[in-house]
């Protein structure tokens, strides 16, 4: 009996039964390879069969089949022959790559597009470099003219543009978790820019997958936090999609070292430029806040000019009368706002948030001017307006004091520090942030109730609070009613807690302890 080494006969069946002289071919191959000490491969079989069945070098064809190896039928040690027909597998593994070769394109990139000068330059530059560009504009509360942005992108050569209203999702899925956590970075910054990035990135990746794009891109600088926030989100949400960051690409930033170079390129390529003089600072706006930085603000001693602020008036310009509102919470998030002064009621997430921006803004609520530590390692100065965020945070802190257990609150506060840093550092889409959000959400199960607030010239004053889930017992705490607590129990409580302190004092370990001489 013939013994064939290193391959199974069934691997040859699809090939051998297509030859016209199967018996002769099969037995001649058996005879040759049964005595061969080398490992037999399908390549050996094919090469010899080609010579025997088609000496002129042409493939013998029957029923339209070629005598070529088909992907998936060869031994794992076999090396593909030149000219092997791999088109079918290429289509499976890289359908888009075939399209790119046909078009001569470097691929498709989904660009986060603002409609401003910088991203318009990036759009035209990408096309110049050979990319197909799909623009994506997220509406998370910006004030720009959406239709102008659409027309501009298409006129400049974008294949298409997606303009997505993400405002409701932004409030419910991203802002509300920061409210439950009382998130505040370095004691003052309410994360208005940072929390918008994972919201935008998620939709951008969804579009990239939908459009079979190989790349995503943004217009962030190489010194800021936002490049990190966007790109860590991209990596988490779709690791197979690559990121193009023009402001980190030497061929881009060396070509455009200053604003004048951008303007010259815009003129050369008929890119519309706003006739309004550019403010000497940069601005980023969404429905949670507006941030201002750069330009004249880079000197931390420079006062922010009065015309910088857009969402809020100054305390001097605010009304000379108090405006009273009531905010109702359910599971730690606002569900209803009632203006006690004029009777206005808002009871949907987006509406009540926008309304609190309006009310807070006219009462000079939510302005800060700070220096913060960027994740990338440098300090930066920023001015922020966050009227609704400031009001909601004060109210939430107050209703929590009434409803949340002391030890649960301590743990939540520790988690809040971690969560805040995760948001600021671009790690919303990470396993640790997912865990932190779930834990914090659980602490809010009983945070229901209503808080009454007065707003006046930049001040937020809590006037009262009530809740059906309150842990506050008026009778228990009263100095006029004995209630169920026995005051004698306090003596034992003090004695137990004092034991540790007494031992430290006795051993002289407490600085300032008075010892007998």
- List, in sequence order, the alpha helices (H) in 130-193: 146-155, 167-169, 176-181
**Strands (E) located in 347-492:** 367-373, 379-385, 449-456, 459-466
Task: Give first-to-last CA distance, the chain, whole Å.
Answer: 107
Q: Return the number of other C-beta atoms located less than 10 Å from residue 98's C-beta.
A: 13
Give the whole-angstrom CA distance, residue 34 versus residue 287: 77
Sheet arrangement for strand 290-293: 282-285, 290-293, 379-385, 367-373
Say how many C-beta atoms besides its own lie within 10 A of residue 227's C-beta: 21
Residue 307: Cβ within 10 Å count: 7
Token look-up 């039964």 returns: 17
455/453 Cα distance (integer angstroms): 7
197, 393, 412, 465: which one is catalytic? 197
Active site residue 274: no
Please identify which of the residues 114, 167, 183, 226 carries the catalytic annotation: 226
CA distance 447 to 102: 59
**Distance between CA 381 and CA 297 in Å, rounded?**
7
Q: Exactly one of 48, 105, 173, 282 is catalytic; name it.
A: 282
Residue 470 annotated in active site: no
357, 287 contact by CB (below 8 A): yes
Assess whether 89 carries a catalytic annotation.
Answer: no
Residue 62 DSSP one-character state: B
| Cα gap 333→378, rounded to integer Å | 34
Please, which residues have CB within 8 angstroms of residue 371's CB and are 6 or more apart in sequence? Answer: 300, 379, 380, 381, 382
Which of the residues 48, 118, 369, 454 is marked catalytic? 118
State how far Cα 504 lies from the chain centre: 50
Long-range contacts for 233-237 (Cβ within 8 Å, ≥24 apart)? 233/197, 233/198, 233/201, 233/202, 233/205, 233/426, 233/428, 233/429, 234/201, 234/204, 234/205, 236/429, 236/430, 237/201, 237/202, 237/205, 237/429
Q: What does the DSSP 8-state code read for residue 74? A: S
User: What strand order describes the sheet that includes 345-346?
Assistant: 345-346, 333-339, 323-330, 449-456, 459-466
Distances (CA, A) of 198 to 185, 285, 401: 17, 15, 30
CA distance 340 to 326: 7
What torsion do the CA atoms of 154, 155, 158, 159 make, to the nearest 10 degrees?
60
**Residue in the block written with tokens 């540790």:** 500
Q: CA 189, 195, 200, 203: dihedral to nearest 10 degrees?
A: 180
Told to judge if 118 belongs to the known catalytic residues of this protein, a careful annotator would answer yes
CA 496 to chain centroid, in Å, comes to 49
Catalytic center residues? 118, 197, 226, 282
């Amino acid at each position: 009996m013939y013994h064939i080494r290193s391959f199974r006969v069934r691997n040859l069946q699809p090939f051998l039964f297509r030859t016209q002289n199967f018996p002769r071919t099969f037995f001649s191959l058996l005879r040759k390879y049964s005595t061969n000490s080398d490992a037999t491969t399908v390549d050996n079989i094919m090469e010899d069969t080609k010579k025997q069945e088609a000496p002129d070098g042409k493939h013998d064809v029957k029923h339209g089949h070629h005598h070529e190896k088909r992907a998936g039928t060869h031994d794992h040690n076999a090396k593909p022959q030149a000219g092997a027909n791999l088109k079918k597998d290429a289509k499976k593994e890289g359908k888009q790559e075939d399209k790119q070769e046909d078009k001569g394109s470097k691929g498709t990139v989904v660009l986060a597009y603002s409609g401003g000068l910088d991203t318009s330059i990036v759009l035209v530059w990408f096309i110049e470099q050979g990319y197909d560009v799909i623009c994506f504009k997220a509406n998370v509360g910006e004030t720009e003219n959406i239709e102008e942005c659409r027309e501009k992108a298409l006129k400049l050569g974008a294949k298409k543009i997606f303009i997505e209203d993400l405002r409701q999702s932004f409030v419910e899925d991203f802002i509300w978790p920061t409210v439950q956590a009382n998130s505040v970075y370095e004691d003052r910054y309410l994360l208005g820019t940072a929390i918008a990035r994972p919201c935008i990135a998620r939709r951008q990746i969804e579009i990239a997958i939908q459009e079979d794009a190989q790349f995503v891109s943004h217009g962030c600088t190489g010194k800021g936090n936002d490049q990190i926030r966007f790109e860590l989100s991209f990596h988490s949400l779709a690791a197979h999609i690559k990121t193009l960051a023009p402001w980190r690409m030497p061929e881009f930033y060396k070509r455009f070292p200053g604003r004048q170079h951008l303007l010259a390129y815009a003129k050369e390529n008929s890119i519309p430029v706003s006739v309004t003089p550019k403010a000497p600072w940069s601005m980023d706006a969404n429905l949670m806040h507006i941030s201002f930085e750069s330009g004249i603000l880079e000197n931390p001693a420079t006062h922010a000019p009065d015309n910088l602020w857009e969402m809020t008036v100054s305390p001097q310009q605010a009304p000379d009368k108090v405006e009273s509102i009531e905010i109702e919470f359910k599971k730690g998030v606002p569900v209803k706002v009632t203006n006690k002064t004029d009777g206005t009621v808002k009871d949907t997430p987006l509406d009540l948030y926008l309304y609190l921006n309006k009310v807070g803004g006219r009462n000079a609520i939510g302005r800060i001017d700070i220096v913060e530590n960027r994740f990338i390692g440098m300090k930066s100065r920023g001015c922020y307006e966050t009227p609704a965020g400031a009001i909601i945070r004060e109210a939430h802190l107050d209703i929590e004091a009434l409803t949340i257990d002391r030890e649960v609150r301590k743990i939540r506060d520790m988690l809040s520090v971690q969560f805040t840093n995760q948001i600021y550092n671009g790690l919303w889409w990470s396993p640790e942030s997912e865990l932190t959000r779930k834990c914090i959400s659980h602490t809010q199960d009983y945070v229901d109730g209503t808080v009454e607030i007065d707003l006046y010239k930049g001040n937020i004053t809590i006037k009262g609070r009530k809740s059906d889930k309150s842990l506050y017992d008026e009778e228990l705490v009263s100095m006029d009613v004995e209630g169920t607590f026995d005051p004698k129990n306090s003596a034992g409580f003090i004695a137990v807690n004092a034991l540790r302190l007494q031992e430290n004092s006795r051993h002289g370990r407490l600085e300032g302890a008075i010892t007998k001489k």
